[in-house]
Amino acid sequence: MSELHKEIKKMIIDCLDLEDIDVEDINDDSPLFVEGLGLDSIDALEIGLMLQKKYGIKLESDSEATRQYFASVNSLVALVSSNRVN
Amino acid sequence: MGDTGRLTALSNWMTVPAEHPVACQVAETVTALDFKHRVKEWVDFLSTQEGSRWAVYHDDSVEFLAIVFALWQLGKTACVPGDNLPSTVERLKNCVAGYIGHFPAGLVLEDTPYVEQKSVAGVSWAVVERDYPALEIYTSGSTGEPKPIIKTLAQLELEIETLEAQWPSRQNCLILSTVSHQHFYGMIFRLLWPLSVGQPFLRFSCEYIEDVFYAAQSHASYALISSPSHLARIKTVVDWHKLKGECCYVISSAAPLSLEDSINTAVSLKTCVREIYGSSETGAIAWRAQNELGVDALWQALPKVRVSASPEGALVVSAPYLASSAAMTLSDLVELSPNKKFKLNGRIDKIVKVEGKRVSLVAIERLLQKSDWIKAVKALVLNRKRIETAVVVLLTELGERHFQTIGKKVFINSLREQLLDHFELVVIPRRWRFVEQMPYNPQGKLPMGVLEKLFDKQLVKWPTIENSEIAPSSVVLKCYVPTDLMYFDGHFDDFPILPGVVQTYWAEKFGRDMLSVDGCFKRLEAVKFVSIIHPDSRFSLTLEYNKVKKVLLFKYESESELSSSGRICFE
């Protein structure tokens, strides 16, 4: 697990105030929503806000691209690191 | 209402003869004369006080009643909360002139010795106005904040008249009780009804069912005012057949009494068990007595109470002692039978909105209840970062075993999965609390405030100690700084840093805990804050204690860089 993976998982847990879940419980590539972590649409909004606040990433709500970024921790990591390079 | 038979109206009660019994305390009888003396003391005192609304809480039923009667004599309102907890005191702050009785700084009057008691023979007692708000009580708060309910003496008298018409009281039968008079059920059944008919009551509550046994021993006949939580234990604790006295009746209310507990109580005490259905808002509405196992008896409306069903199937009642002449719709589902009898079919579903989605908490409970891991469950809505549902769960033995074997996370997940088939993700409980006992209060209700407290966030006040090296007079702690440490809150919003005052506080605390530092904090010396400690970082804290000089040295370092240092002097 890279530092960024860890950072993003921690961000998800803190920002959503999740209980009974540790960084180690979140798989890099399993789905964040519905199955896997079991997050819902309101959590997606929260994570979107957090990405904007912490990394300055603005996402269009409800676009196909956004949906793909939110698929797993891996895809969020890819999003954040590509934005860092730019 | 005048005097009908032995019934004395509360508004005109002060005219009863002096020898009229009021209460018992072990073998002593408190007579109307004793009681009137006490009322007089309170009238004299309270007439010098400004303010028309007073909060009253007192463990002693006689003193409680004396205060209430004195307030009524003066045309003031007795505000009677169910408890005297700090939150209750705070809640009442803006709506009462002051607190009387067992409150922090509540007004109390010393008992006057008998010889000094002023004569009450010449006192002209007021006939109390029957239609002013004499009493204010509060809902239990099982569905949110407790709400005030106003009662006039006319309402109280009419309810008592109805009860007396249904069950004419028995002279000399002592009223024992396990329920508090601070709640409406207890106040009516244990104090005001007996007082109106000259039936003595025991001055103090029986906290345990065993206390009932001991209190009943010295009396030829007694009655018991109780609730399901006490009656559930009646069979196991004592041999009731050893009691020589006769139990005239048992009354149970506040929550549903199981058929089995009802029959057990009836057999143990060789008497009839009358269950009362009602609420603080309505007073007593209906009653029933179970008489055979396996068949739940129907509820029977009390005289002058009319029952019907709303289009949604909820129970609608009207009674002369309701606050308004309009019928009132309650939140229980009803199935009507002839002759004012009915069956109750559970609470009307409480539909709540969670992030815009409608969900029935009862449906969540019902579904979880189906699991053989779960003995009892209560669902609630929390309004935190978002609106979400949460559950408080009591496990069965089987559930307990699974919980131990598979661990909390997997356990919760498998219950969540069962819910996922029926509910949208948004409304599925996010927070689970497993309790050893559902937090019922003495009235057999689950107050919302207590349930919500189970979900309060524990404030993080300390660093996580990852390693410690302790020598006789020094210690080195390797620590992690959690991001949710309470001290980062507002210090500062965009740039959280560990405040210097917290660093000295931690040094002192760990010094006291690990190096037997004692004495009072005197001063700080040579304190330097060199670099900042951030959230989600690590530091090492070195403490050295000079016992002779009573000086504690502290040094915070992160990755060999000094963060802060200083000396704390004690005396």
Q: What is the pLDDT of residue B4?
A: 46
Give the gap in angstroms from C-alpha B331 to the nearest C-alpha of chain A. 32
Q: What is the pLDDT of residue B141?
A: 61
Decide if pLDDT at B50 tops 70: yes
Q: What is the pLDDT of residue B458?
A: 66
Decide if pLDDT at B391 tops 90: yes
Q: Do residue B522 and residue B505 come from a single domain?
A: yes
Residue with more model confidence, B282 or A15: B282
CATH number at residue B506: 3.10.129.10
Residue A20: closest CA among chain B residues belongs to which residue? B409
- End-to-end CA, chain A: 23
Residues of chain A whose beta carbon is less than 8 angstroms from a beta carbon of chain B are: 10, 14, 16-21, 25, 34, 38-42, 46
Question: Rounded to an integer, what distance in angstroms lies between the CA atom of residue B93 and that of residue B73?
Answer: 24
Contacts A–B by Cβ distance under 8 A? 30
Cβ pair B438, B394 in contact under 8 A? yes
CATH number at residue B400: 3.30.300.30
DSSP letters, chain A, are --HHHHHHHHHHHHHHT-SS--GGGS-SSS-SBSSTT-B-HHHHHHHHHHHHHHH-----TT-HHHHHHTS-HHHHHHHHHHHHH-
Q: Do A20 and B385 touch (CB under 8 A)?
A: no
Question: Rounded to an integer, what distance in angstroms lies between the CA atom of residue B183 and that of residue B181?
Answer: 5
Provide the pLDDT confidence category of residue B59 given band limits of 50, 70 and 90: very high
Cα–Cα separations (whole angstroms), residue B393 to B161, B400, B430, B571: 43, 11, 13, 50
* Range picked from B151-155, B440-444, B458-462 for highest mean pLDDT: B151-155
Domains of chain A: 3-85 (1.10.1200.10)
Provide the pLDDT confidence category of residue B202 given band limits of 50, 70 and 90: very high
Asked which of B308, B326, B348 is the last residue of a domain, the reply is: B348
Please report, rounded to a whole number, the percentage of residues in chain B having pLDDT higher than 70: 95
Provide the pLDDT confidence category of residue B140 given band limits of 50, 70 and 90: low
Q: How many domains does chain B have?
A: 3
- Tokens at residue A70, please? 């939110």
User: Could you give the dihedral angle defined by the CA atoms of residues B196, B200, B202 and B205, in that order, rounded to the nearest 10 degrees?
Assistant: -20
Q: Which residues, in sequence order, are CB contacts of B521 under 8 Å at separation 6+?
A: B508, B568, B569, B570
Decide if pLDDT at B559 tops 90: no
Q: Do residue B491 and residue B530 come from a single domain?
A: yes
Asked which of B418, B453, B488 is the last residue of a domain, the reply is: B453
Q: Do B386 and A42 touch (CB under 8 A)?
A: yes
Q: Do residue B378 and residue B392 come from a single domain?
A: yes
Q: Do B425 and A40 touch (CB under 8 A)?
A: yes
Asked which of B318, B348, B378 is the last residue of a domain, the reply is: B348
Residue with more model confidence, B354 or B237: B354
Provide the pLDDT confidence category of residue B115 given band limits of 50, 70 and 90: low
List CB contacts (< 8 A) between A47 and chain B. Answer: none
Decide if pLDDT at B464 tops 90: no
Q: Do residue B358 and residue B444 come from a single domain?
A: yes
The pLDDT of A17-39, averaged and rounded, is: 82
- Mean pLDDT lowest among B60-69, B457-466, B522-531: B457-466
| Phi, psi values for residue B399, rounded to 5° | -60, -45
pTM of the model: 0.65
Q: Which residues, in sequence order, are CB contacts of A39 under 8 Å at separation 6+?
A: A16, A32, A33, A47, B425
User: What does the mean pLDDT of chain B come to?
Assistant: 89
List CB contacts (< 8 A) between B386 and chain A. Answer: 42, 46
Q: Do residue B387 and residue B402 come from a single domain?
A: yes
Q: Do residue B519 and residue B533 come from a single domain?
A: yes
Cβ pair B70, B39 in contact under 8 A? yes
Q: What is the tens place of the pLDDT at every residue in B358-384?
A: 788 888 998 999 999 999 999 998 887
Residue A45: closest CA among chain B residues belongs to which residue? B386
**Helix spans in B421-491 (H):** 448-453
Looking at the domain assignment, is residue B314 inside a domain?
yes
Q: Do residue B447 and residue B519 come from a single domain?
A: no
Decide if pLDDT at B305 tops 90: yes
Give the gap in angstroms from C-alpha B467 to the nearest C-alpha of chain A. 21
Q: Do residue B311 and residue B377 come from a single domain?
A: no
Decide if pLDDT at B2 tops 70: no
Print the domain residue range for B555: 464-570
Q: Do residue B501 and residue B425 come from a single domain?
A: no
